[in-house]
Amino acid sequence: MVVLKSSGFSEMNFRRMEIEEWFDRYQYEVECDIGESGVKFFNLGDFELNARIQLRYGYHRGNPSLRELVVRDYGGMSEENVVITTGASEANFAIIASLIDSGNHLIVEHPNYPSLYEVPASLGLKFDFFRLDFDEKFKPQLDELEKLVKKNTKLVVLTHPNNPTGSALTLKELEKVIDLAESNNFHLLLDETYRELSHGDSLPPAATLSSNAISVTTMSKAYGLPGVRIGWAVADKKVIEDVVAVREQLTICNSVIGEAIAENVLERKTSFLGNIRKKVIENLEILKTWFNEQSCLEWVPPSGGVVCFPHYRGKTDRLAGSWPKNIGLLRCLDIVLEWTSI
């Protein structure tokens, strides 16, 4: 663990995330990894790359041609509202680190991708969890969110469609959160990693609805490209400049090869994502049938994305013992336990 002190943050403690430790240990070993949270990944050979790509430093905000492709989906915004980052992870880190200091407060939805609460915890920031509850079918109870808002709340962090529950906001709910952000003068960071894998109609990106909203997404999950390490944030220009300042300290710029692959995919986005969405819906039907046959598992079918958060009604040590070779399953159970115990 690394402990740092500074005037902006009270005390910084960076520890490893259990989910990522598991992943690092087992991702290349398991035959069947049911703990992965994205669609099946692609290979380099699936893309034709221009051999004349210069292996120099890239643009610090991301290649303008890539930003131009990205911003097409964000009506009313321009390339200056976009920063391409090393995955959503870097964007999320930079937003939390630049918007919040020790005098502010933030609210983070839970369960969630752990980095979204481990970053504020690591930076020694004050935050409260906004809980999604199995008994409410993981639907966000926005009256509860409102009760958590304090005078010094500067940021609310939500992920929808949510990882791991698959819960998705309705447009009305998103508008309600944005009203809350505008009237209480905080930013909404909406992690939209799974927005394009909504099982109904996708919501508009939050950043297009208000200058208080920040949209973050990635090519890691819906596009099956975690290895390219490309994500982005779309927001008000001031937020983008803050993110660029943090990212210059972390990574300077993106991998130019990653950016080239991202461009290649976004140029044919409709057909690329169309094939993936079709497969996701087919697989969801298989999963539904499987869940209906299980006596020891309860679940809320996801409204988007490729993850769900089942409840196991038995003893996990007995289940683990009965599938000794299936580390993927064990890993998944461990993660479920990790999330439920927080």
Ligand X SMILES: Cc1ncc(COP(=O)(O)O)c(C=O)c1O
Residues contributing to the site for ligand X (CB under 6 A): 37, 87-89, 113, 159, 163, 191, 193, 218, 220, 226, 231
Q: Which is nearer to ligand X, 189 or 333 (CB)?
A: 189
CB of 265 to ligand X, least distance (A): 14
Q: Cis ω on the peptide bond leading into residue 302 (within 30° of 0)?
A: no
Please, are residues 110 and 129 in contact by the beta-carbon 8 Å criterion? yes
CB 315 → ligand X: shortest distance, Å? 28
Our CB check for ligand X shows the closer of 125 and 197 to be 197
Are the C-beta atoms of residues 114 and 21 closer than 8 Å to each other? no
The least distance separating ligand X from the CB of residue 168, rounded to whole angstroms, comes to 13
- Dihedral of the alpha carbons of 95, 246, 253, 1, in degrees to the nearest 10: -90
Q: 78: which 2 tokens?
A: 């321009």
SS3 content of the chain, % helix, strand, coil (to 5): 45, 15, 40
**Chain residue at closest Cβ approach to ligand X:** 87
Closest distance of CB 109 from ligand X, Å? 10
Closest CA to 258 of 36, 27, 28, 47: 47
Shortest CB 232 distance to ligand X, Å: 9
Minimum distance, C-beta of residue 22 to ligand X, in the bound complex (Å): 12
> Residue 266's closest CA among 233, 240, 231, 239?
231
Least distance in angstroms from the C-beta of 112 to ligand X: 7
The answer to whether the beta carbons of residues 181 and 292 sit under 8 Å apart is: no
Distance CA 40, CA 335 (A): 20
What single-letter amino acid sits at 214? I
CB nearer to ligand X: pick between 23 and 291: 23
Residue 163, Cβ density class (10 Å: 0-12 exposed, 13-18 middle, ≥19 buried): buried
Is the Cβ–Cβ distance between 196 and 224 less than 8 Å? no
Nearer to ligand X among residue 63 and residue 115 (C-beta): 115
Q: Give the CA count within 13 Å in the CB-facing half-sphere of 323.
A: 14
Taking the CA atoms of 88, 91, 259 and 304 in sequence, report the sign of the dihedral they define: positive
Nearer to ligand X, 88 or 145 (CB): 88
Least distance (Å) from ligand X to the CB of residue 19?
8
Nearer to ligand X, 124 or 161 (CB): 161
Cα separation, 286 vs 290, whole angstroms:
6
